[in-house]
Structure 1
Amino acid sequence: MDYTVSKSNDEWRGELTQEQFAVLREAATERPWTGELLDEERSGLYTCAACHAELFKSGTKFDSGCGWPSFYESINPEAVQLIEDNTLGMMRTEVRCAACGSHLGHVFPDGLGTPTGDRYCMNSLALDFSAEDK
Protein backbone atom coordinates (compact mmCIF):
# COMPACT_ATOMS: atom_id res chain seq x y z
CA MET A 1 0.00 0.00 0.00
CA ASP A 2 1.19 3.50 -0.78
CA TYR A 3 1.10 5.76 2.26
CA THR A 4 0.66 9.53 2.14
CA VAL A 5 3.43 9.84 4.76
CA SER A 6 6.56 7.92 3.79
CA LYS A 7 9.91 8.17 5.56
CA SER A 8 13.05 6.09 5.89
CA ASN A 9 13.78 4.19 9.10
CA ASP A 10 16.52 6.72 9.85
CA GLU A 11 14.02 9.58 9.54
CA TRP A 12 11.53 7.78 11.81
CA ARG A 13 14.31 7.07 14.35
CA GLY A 14 15.10 10.79 14.40
CA GLU A 15 11.49 11.68 15.20
CA LEU A 16 10.37 8.91 17.56
CA THR A 17 11.63 7.68 20.89
CA GLN A 18 13.31 4.27 20.89
CA GLU A 19 10.20 2.75 22.48
CA GLN A 20 7.86 4.41 19.96
CA PHE A 21 10.02 3.23 17.06
CA ALA A 22 9.88 -0.36 18.35
CA VAL A 23 6.07 -0.26 18.54
CA LEU A 24 5.21 1.88 15.53
CA ARG A 25 7.81 0.72 13.01
CA GLU A 26 8.75 -2.78 14.27
CA ALA A 27 5.32 -3.91 15.56
CA ALA A 28 6.43 -4.39 19.16
CA THR A 29 3.87 -4.33 21.97
CA GLU A 30 4.16 -2.31 25.14
CA ARG A 31 3.60 -4.14 28.42
CA PRO A 32 -0.03 -4.19 29.55
CA TRP A 33 -1.15 -1.72 32.25
CA THR A 34 1.87 0.55 31.58
CA GLY A 35 0.54 2.86 28.86
CA GLU A 36 0.18 6.55 29.60
CA LEU A 37 -3.20 6.74 27.83
CA LEU A 38 -4.81 3.68 29.41
CA ASP A 39 -6.69 5.68 32.05
CA GLU A 40 -7.20 8.86 29.98
CA GLU A 41 -10.86 9.89 30.44
CA ARG A 42 -10.99 13.43 29.04
CA SER A 43 -12.83 14.24 25.84
CA GLY A 44 -10.57 14.64 22.88
CA LEU A 45 -8.88 13.12 19.86
CA TYR A 46 -6.35 10.31 19.52
CA THR A 47 -3.88 10.63 16.66
CA CYS A 48 -1.00 8.57 15.29
CA ALA A 49 2.17 9.30 17.31
CA ALA A 50 4.23 9.01 14.12
CA CYS A 51 2.34 11.13 11.58
CA HIS A 52 -0.45 12.77 13.63
CA ALA A 53 -3.28 11.39 11.47
CA GLU A 54 -6.63 11.36 13.28
CA LEU A 55 -7.51 7.84 14.44
CA PHE A 56 -10.02 7.65 17.31
CA LYS A 57 -12.46 9.91 19.14
CA SER A 58 -12.56 9.71 22.92
CA GLY A 59 -16.26 8.84 22.84
CA THR A 60 -15.41 5.43 21.37
CA LYS A 61 -12.89 4.56 24.10
CA PHE A 62 -13.97 2.00 26.69
CA ASP A 63 -12.49 0.02 29.57
CA SER A 64 -12.04 -3.48 28.16
CA GLY A 65 -9.93 -4.69 31.08
CA CYS A 66 -7.16 -5.84 28.73
CA GLY A 67 -4.42 -3.44 29.90
CA TRP A 68 -4.27 -1.31 26.73
CA PRO A 69 -6.43 1.61 25.57
CA SER A 70 -9.43 0.17 23.75
CA PHE A 71 -11.83 1.70 21.24
CA TYR A 72 -14.87 0.22 19.52
CA GLU A 73 -14.33 2.00 16.17
CA SER A 74 -11.89 4.25 14.36
CA ILE A 75 -12.72 7.84 13.50
CA ASN A 76 -13.60 6.60 9.99
CA PRO A 77 -12.96 3.33 8.14
CA GLU A 78 -10.22 4.91 5.99
CA ALA A 79 -8.19 6.02 9.04
CA VAL A 80 -6.81 2.56 9.73
CA GLN A 81 -5.53 -0.35 7.67
CA LEU A 82 -6.44 -3.88 8.80
CA ILE A 83 -3.98 -6.67 8.00
CA GLU A 84 -4.15 -10.39 8.70
CA ASP A 85 -1.50 -11.28 11.30
CA ASN A 86 -0.54 -14.93 11.78
CA THR A 87 2.45 -14.36 14.06
CA LEU A 88 2.81 -15.93 17.49
CA GLY A 89 0.88 -19.01 16.35
CA MET A 90 -2.50 -17.28 16.28
CA MET A 91 -4.77 -15.51 13.82
CA ARG A 92 -5.23 -11.82 14.60
CA THR A 93 -5.96 -8.60 12.74
CA GLU A 94 -3.24 -5.98 12.95
CA VAL A 95 -4.24 -2.31 12.92
CA ARG A 96 -1.97 0.15 11.14
CA CYS A 97 -2.25 3.87 10.54
CA ALA A 98 -3.55 4.22 6.98
CA ALA A 99 -1.55 7.44 6.49
CA CYS A 100 1.95 6.16 7.38
CA GLY A 101 1.67 2.39 7.89
CA SER A 102 2.71 2.49 11.53
CA HIS A 103 1.68 -0.42 13.77
CA LEU A 104 -0.96 0.65 16.30
CA GLY A 105 -2.14 -2.64 17.79
CA HIS A 106 -4.80 -5.26 16.95
CA VAL A 107 -8.57 -5.42 16.63
CA PHE A 108 -10.59 -8.26 18.11
CA PRO A 109 -14.30 -9.14 17.73
CA ASP A 110 -14.81 -9.30 21.49
CA GLY A 111 -15.92 -5.78 22.36
CA LEU A 112 -18.97 -7.04 24.20
CA GLY A 113 -21.56 -4.38 24.94
CA THR A 114 -20.14 -1.90 22.42
CA PRO A 115 -22.08 -0.65 19.39
CA THR A 116 -19.75 -2.49 16.97
CA GLY A 117 -18.70 -5.53 18.99
CA ASP A 118 -15.07 -4.68 18.17
CA ARG A 119 -12.15 -3.96 20.49
CA TYR A 120 -9.36 -1.95 18.92
CA CYS A 121 -6.59 -2.75 21.39
CA MET A 122 -4.00 0.01 20.88
CA ASN A 123 -0.54 0.71 22.25
CA SER A 124 -0.38 4.02 24.16
CA LEU A 125 3.06 4.60 22.63
CA ALA A 126 1.45 4.54 19.17
CA LEU A 127 -1.00 7.32 20.04
CA ASP A 128 -0.99 11.01 20.92
CA PHE A 129 -3.95 12.58 22.72
CA SER A 130 -5.29 16.12 22.38
CA ALA A 131 -7.88 17.14 24.96
CA GLU A 132 -10.95 18.93 23.71
CA ASP A 133 -11.12 22.64 24.55
CA LYS A 134 -13.92 23.42 26.96
Structure 2
Amino acid sequence: MRLYKECLHCGKELEGRTDKKFCDPQCKSSFQYQKEKNRPERFYNKVDNQLKLNRKILKEYNKGGKVIVRADILLKLGFDPNFFTHYWKNQKEDVYLFVYEYGFLKRKEKDKEKYILIIWQEYMQKDSKV
Protein backbone atom coordinates (compact mmCIF):
# COMPACT_ATOMS: atom_id res chain seq x y z
CA MET A 1 0.00 0.00 0.00
CA ARG A 2 1.45 3.35 -1.10
CA LEU A 3 1.72 6.10 1.53
CA TYR A 4 1.76 8.96 -1.03
CA LYS A 5 0.20 8.73 -4.49
CA GLU A 6 1.58 12.02 -5.77
CA CYS A 7 4.85 13.97 -5.43
CA LEU A 8 4.54 16.40 -2.51
CA HIS A 9 6.10 19.19 -4.61
CA CYS A 10 4.89 18.92 -8.20
CA GLY A 11 1.91 16.55 -7.86
CA LYS A 12 3.19 14.05 -10.44
CA GLU A 13 2.12 10.42 -9.88
CA LEU A 14 4.78 8.48 -8.00
CA GLU A 15 6.31 5.19 -9.16
CA GLY A 16 8.65 2.84 -7.36
CA ARG A 17 9.01 2.41 -3.60
CA THR A 18 5.83 2.57 -1.55
CA ASP A 19 7.28 5.12 0.92
CA LYS A 20 8.45 7.49 -1.80
CA LYS A 21 7.37 11.15 -1.32
CA PHE A 22 9.02 12.91 -4.29
CA CYS A 23 9.46 12.04 -7.95
CA ASP A 24 13.11 13.17 -8.11
CA PRO A 25 15.85 14.89 -6.05
CA GLN A 26 15.05 18.29 -7.55
CA CYS A 27 11.44 18.15 -6.30
CA LYS A 28 12.64 17.09 -2.86
CA SER A 29 15.13 19.98 -2.77
CA SER A 30 12.56 22.50 -4.02
CA PHE A 31 10.02 21.30 -1.46
CA GLN A 32 12.52 21.68 1.41
CA TYR A 33 13.60 25.12 0.14
CA GLN A 34 10.00 26.38 0.01
CA LYS A 35 9.28 24.93 3.45
CA GLU A 36 12.27 26.76 4.99
CA LYS A 37 11.52 29.94 3.07
CA ASN A 38 7.97 30.07 4.46
CA ARG A 39 9.10 29.36 8.02
CA PRO A 40 9.46 32.42 10.26
CA GLU A 41 13.07 33.49 10.36
CA ARG A 42 14.79 33.08 13.71
CA PHE A 43 15.89 36.25 15.49
CA TYR A 44 19.61 35.52 15.39
CA ASN A 45 19.41 34.88 11.64
CA LYS A 46 17.92 38.34 11.14
CA VAL A 47 20.64 39.92 13.26
CA ASP A 48 23.41 37.96 11.54
CA ASN A 49 22.08 38.78 8.07
CA GLN A 50 21.84 42.50 8.90
CA LEU A 51 25.38 42.55 10.33
CA LYS A 52 26.69 40.86 7.17
CA LEU A 53 24.86 43.36 4.97
CA ASN A 54 26.09 46.33 7.03
CA ARG A 55 29.70 45.06 6.84
CA LYS A 56 29.45 44.52 3.08
CA ILE A 57 28.12 48.06 2.54
CA LEU A 58 30.72 49.69 4.82
CA LYS A 59 33.52 47.71 3.14
CA GLU A 60 32.33 48.74 -0.31
CA TYR A 61 32.26 52.45 0.54
CA ASN A 62 35.39 52.63 2.68
CA LYS A 63 38.27 52.00 0.29
CA GLY A 64 40.46 54.78 1.66
CA GLY A 65 40.56 54.12 5.41
CA LYS A 66 38.54 57.23 6.29
CA VAL A 67 35.68 58.37 4.09
CA ILE A 68 32.58 60.57 4.40
CA VAL A 69 29.40 59.28 2.73
CA ARG A 70 25.87 60.70 2.68
CA ALA A 71 23.59 58.66 4.95
CA ASP A 72 20.84 58.29 2.35
CA ILE A 73 23.20 56.40 0.02
CA LEU A 74 23.94 53.73 2.64
CA LEU A 75 20.35 53.55 3.89
CA LYS A 76 18.99 52.96 0.38
CA LEU A 77 21.27 49.91 0.13
CA GLY A 78 19.77 48.45 3.31
CA PHE A 79 22.30 49.70 5.86
CA ASP A 80 20.82 49.76 9.38
CA PRO A 81 22.88 51.73 11.95
CA ASN A 82 21.12 49.97 14.83
CA PHE A 83 23.08 46.77 14.12
CA PHE A 84 26.73 46.87 15.18
CA THR A 85 29.20 44.64 17.02
CA HIS A 86 31.07 47.08 19.29
CA TYR A 87 32.00 50.73 19.69
CA TRP A 88 35.03 52.94 20.28
CA LYS A 89 35.16 56.40 21.83
CA ASN A 90 37.93 58.74 20.70
CA GLN A 91 39.57 61.53 22.74
CA LYS A 92 36.96 64.03 21.53
CA GLU A 93 34.25 61.77 23.02
CA ASP A 94 32.93 60.81 19.54
CA VAL A 95 31.48 57.30 19.66
CA TYR A 96 32.18 55.25 16.53
CA LEU A 97 30.00 52.18 16.08
CA PHE A 98 31.67 49.19 14.44
CA VAL A 99 30.49 46.29 12.35
CA TYR A 100 33.48 44.01 12.88
CA GLU A 101 36.42 46.02 11.50
CA TYR A 102 34.42 48.78 9.77
CA GLY A 103 33.29 51.75 11.85
CA PHE A 104 30.89 54.63 11.30
CA LEU A 105 29.94 57.86 13.03
CA LYS A 106 26.80 59.81 12.14
CA ARG A 107 27.28 63.54 11.52
CA LYS A 108 25.10 66.36 10.25
CA GLU A 109 26.81 68.80 7.89
CA LYS A 110 24.95 71.56 6.07
CA ASP A 111 21.57 69.98 6.95
CA LYS A 112 22.63 66.65 5.42
CA GLU A 113 23.05 63.44 7.38
CA LYS A 114 26.42 61.83 6.70
CA TYR A 115 28.52 58.97 8.01
CA ILE A 116 32.22 59.14 8.66
CA LEU A 117 33.56 55.68 7.84
CA ILE A 118 36.78 54.35 9.36
CA ILE A 119 38.64 51.05 9.61
CA TRP A 120 39.63 49.48 12.94
CA GLN A 121 43.20 50.25 14.02
CA GLU A 122 45.33 48.49 16.64
CA TYR A 123 45.53 51.55 18.92
CA MET A 124 41.74 51.38 19.36
CA GLN A 125 41.97 47.99 21.07
CA LYS A 126 42.61 49.29 24.59
CA ASP A 127 39.65 51.71 24.47
CA SER A 128 37.00 49.57 22.78
CA LYS A 129 33.72 48.49 24.37
CA VAL A 130 31.68 45.43 23.50
Of the two, which has the highest radius of gyration?
2
Q: TM-score, normalised by structure 2?
A: 0.31
Q: TM-score, normalised by structure 1?
A: 0.30
Greater fraction helix: 2
Greater fraction strand: 1
